[in-house]
């Protein structure tokens, strides 16, 4: 557009100068040339010169416009190609999502319907319950992938630095993937995580949750493409205050020309392949999280031999602290006995689930599905803690918490919500909640969280 405006300015200037030349050139030439023949010849040359310059400018103008049109056409074709590719990938992703969601749902619904018929057969009951539990985890992983990529794309993820024990993290991952191997039928693959050389330097200041998720995504990806051999991981803390981690496998490997597209959203290396089951978002999420931590993710791979993913980011070391005996006390949940907890939950099944967990620990449970009733109960009964759902039929959880805290400032409130966005969590904290727990709620996580605040 700027180029066109420039051309317009040049054209206008040319016509203005040309107009003055036509109007005053005859007067000027007559004043300096007396010979009529010479004057006539000059007038002829003058006319041809003006025609030539006009034609030349017109030619340049048309040529530049044609060039601009070709560039615009090329850009439109490129944009169209990208849009078609994006549409194709999204269509493939949605088709894959349909398969990935329906597969665990089929097992969950199918075996749930069989539970009533096999209630007296404890062996089958345990088997079916375990299948339902495993497939529920699979379904939750799919949902989490979709939510995570959405939050990364919209910039809603923030980094929360805490002390991270890398030895403990590796132990958690080792336990997690032993169960994962059993579930996926890949017990024959050797899996190990190696710590660093400096055994004293294992505490760093970083976002443990995001670091763990990066590892889970990369290791899960390795298992997906590895049928024999081993998967190994490790880390090293270098002198430049950078933590360098790696995950190496003996899987199918990745061709060099495909090593960049594997990070693209909605893309998979082998679409419609049983080997490549999953959302196709794992590596994209891992790359986004590594970038969020201020690092980079890179790959070394050879087809037929395997792949190694490296990622690194800056870190701060933390001095080891003396072991705190309170951790073991929290795990026993003795401090919950005879406590009174108000459950504010409008879903009867979720409320029943929470009741079962708490009553088994000796907690006296009070339940309501309405925010207004929760405010009244907090006035009439002495409560040790409130488990507050956010989405309620009358007052929402934020409003209910504010009203309860106005009447009983010292009462402890924990938000329990299905909302996964960070701004919703901040709203709960601003309303007066001291902590929050996201649905689906795991029993041990819930009890540990409540124990911490009582």
Judge contact between 90 and 121, C-beta under 8 A: no
Query: Which burial class, exposed, middle or buried, applies to 105 when counting CB atoms under 10 A from its CB (0-12, 13-18, 19+)?
Result: middle
> What's the order of all strands across the beta sheet hosting 162-165?
162-165, 203-206, 316-317
Distance CA 231, CA 221 (A): 11
State the pLDDT at residue 273.
Answer: 44
Chain Cα centroid distance, residue 429: 23
Instruction: Please provide residue 217's backbone torsions phi and psi, each rounded to the nearest 5 degrees.
Output: -65, -45
Task: With a cut of 70, list the residues of the chain below it in pLDDT.
Answer: 1-8, 11, 18-19, 21-26, 28-30, 33-34, 39, 43, 92-93, 95-96, 99, 195-201, 239, 265-280, 317-332, 419-423
Query: What pTM was computed for the model?
Result: 0.55
Distance CA 311, CA 244 (A): 6
Looking up tokens 């074709």, which residue turns up? 77
State the pLDDT at residue 215.
Answer: 92
> What's the order of all strands across the beta sheet hosting 435-438?
364-368, 340-344, 385-389, 413-417, 435-438
State the pLDDT at residue 319.
Answer: 60
**C-alpha closest to that of 343 among 295, 299, 381, 302:** 381
State the pLDDT at residue 231.
Answer: 93
Q: Please count the CA atoms within 13 angstroms of the CA of 276 that sit on its side-chain side.
A: 18
State the pLDDT at residue 342.
Answer: 95
Decide yes or no: CATH 3.30.565.10 for domain 162-317. yes
Decide yes or no: CATH 3.40.50.2300 for domain 326-453. yes
Q: What is the 3-state secondary structure (H, E, C) of the chain?
A: CHHHHHHHHHHHHHHHHHHHHHHHHHHHHHHHCCCHHHHHHHHHHHHHHHHHHHHHHHHHHHHHHHHHHHHHHHHHHHHHHHHHHHHHHHHHHHHHHHHHHHHHHHHHHHHHHHHHHHCCCHHHHHHHHHHHHHHHHHHHHHHHHHHHHHHHHHCCCCCCCEEEEHHHHHHHHHHHHHHHHHHHCCCCCEEEEECCCCCCCCEEEECHHHHHHHHHHHHHHHHHCCCCCEEEEEEEECCCCEEEEEEEECCCCCCHHHCCHHHCCCCCCCCCCHHHCCCCCHHHHHHHHHHHCCCEEEEEEECCCEEEEEEEEECEECCCCCCCCHHHHHHHCHHHCCCEEEEECCCHHHHHHHHHHHHCCCCEEEEECCHHHHHHHHHHCCCCEEEEECCCCCCCHHHHHHHHHHHCCCCCEEEEECCCCHHHHHHHHHHCCCEEEECCCCHHHHHHHHHHHC
Distance CA 370, CA 396 (A): 9
Taking CA atoms, 229 is separated from 258, 278, 300, 377, 388, in Å, by 23, 22, 18, 60, 48
Distance CA 338, CA 384 (A): 10
The two three-digit tokens of residue 305, written as one number: 């031999």
State the pLDDT at residue 190.
Answer: 92
Distance CA 398, CA 413 (A): 11
Distance CA 211, CA 297 (A): 12
State the pLDDT at residue 332.
Answer: 59
All structural domains of the chain with their residue ranges: 2-82, 162-317, 326-453
Cis peptide before 387 (omega within 30 of 0): no
Q: What is the pLDDT of residues 351-406, one digit of tens each?
A: 999 999 999 888 999 999 999 999 999 999 999 999 999 888 888 999 999 999 99
């Amino acid at each position: 557009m700027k180029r066109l405006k420039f051309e317009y300015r040049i054209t206008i200037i040319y016509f203005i100068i040309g107009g003055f030349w036509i109007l005053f050139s005859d007067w000027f030439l007559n004043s300096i040339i007396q010979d009529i023949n010479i004057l006539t010849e000059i007038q002829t040359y003058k006319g041809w010169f003006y025609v030539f310059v006009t034609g030349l400018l017109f030619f340049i103008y048309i040529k530049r416009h044609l060039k601009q049109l070709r560039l615009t056409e090329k850009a439109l074709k490129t944009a169209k190609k990208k849009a078609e590719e994006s549409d194709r990938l999204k269509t493939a992703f949605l088709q894959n999502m349909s398969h990935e969601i329906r597969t665990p749902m089929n097992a969950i619904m199918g075996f749930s319907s069989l539970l009533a018929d096999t209630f007296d057969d404890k062996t089958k009951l345990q088997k079916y319950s375990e299948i339902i539990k495993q497939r529920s985890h699979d379904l939750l992983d799919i949902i989490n992938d979709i939510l995570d990529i959405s939050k990364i794309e919209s910039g809603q993820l923030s980094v929360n630095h805490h002390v991270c024990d890398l030895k403990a993290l590796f132990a958690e991952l080792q336990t997690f993937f032993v169960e994962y191997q059993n579930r996926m039928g890949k017990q024959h693959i050797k899996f190990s995580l190696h710590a660093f050389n400096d055994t004293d330097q294992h505490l760093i200041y970083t976002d443990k949750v995001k670091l763990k998720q990066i590892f889970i995504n990369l290791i899960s990806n390795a298992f997906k493409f590895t049928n024999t051999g081993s998967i190994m991981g490790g880390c090293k803390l270098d002198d430049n205050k950078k933590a360098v981690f790696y995950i190496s496998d003996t899987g199918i490997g990745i061709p060099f020309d495909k090593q960049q597209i594997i990070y693209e959203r909605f893309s998979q290396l082998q679409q419609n392949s049983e080997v490549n089951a999953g959302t196709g978002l794992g590596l994209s999420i891992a790359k986004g999280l590594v970038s969020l931590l201020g690092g980079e993710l890179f790959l070394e791979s050879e087809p037929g031999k395997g792949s190694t993913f490296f990622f690194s980011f800056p870190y701060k070391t933390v001095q080891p602290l003396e072991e705190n005996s309170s951790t073991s006390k929290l795990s026993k949940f003795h401090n919950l006995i005879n406590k009174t907890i108000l459950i504010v939950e409008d879903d009867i099944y979720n409320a029943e689930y929470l009741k079962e967990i708490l009553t088994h620990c000796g907690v006296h449970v009070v339940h309501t599905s309405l925010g207004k009733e929760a405010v009244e109960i907090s006035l009439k009964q002495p409560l040790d803690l409130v488990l507050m759902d956010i989405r309620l039929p009358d007052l929402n959880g934020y409003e209910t918490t504010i009203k309860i805290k106005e009447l009983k400032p010292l009462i402890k409130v924990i938000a329990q919500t299905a909302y996964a966005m960070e701004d919703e969590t901040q709203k709960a904290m601003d309303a007066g909640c001291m902590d929050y727990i996201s649905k689906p709620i795991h029993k041990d996580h819930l009890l540990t969280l409540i124990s911490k605040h009582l």
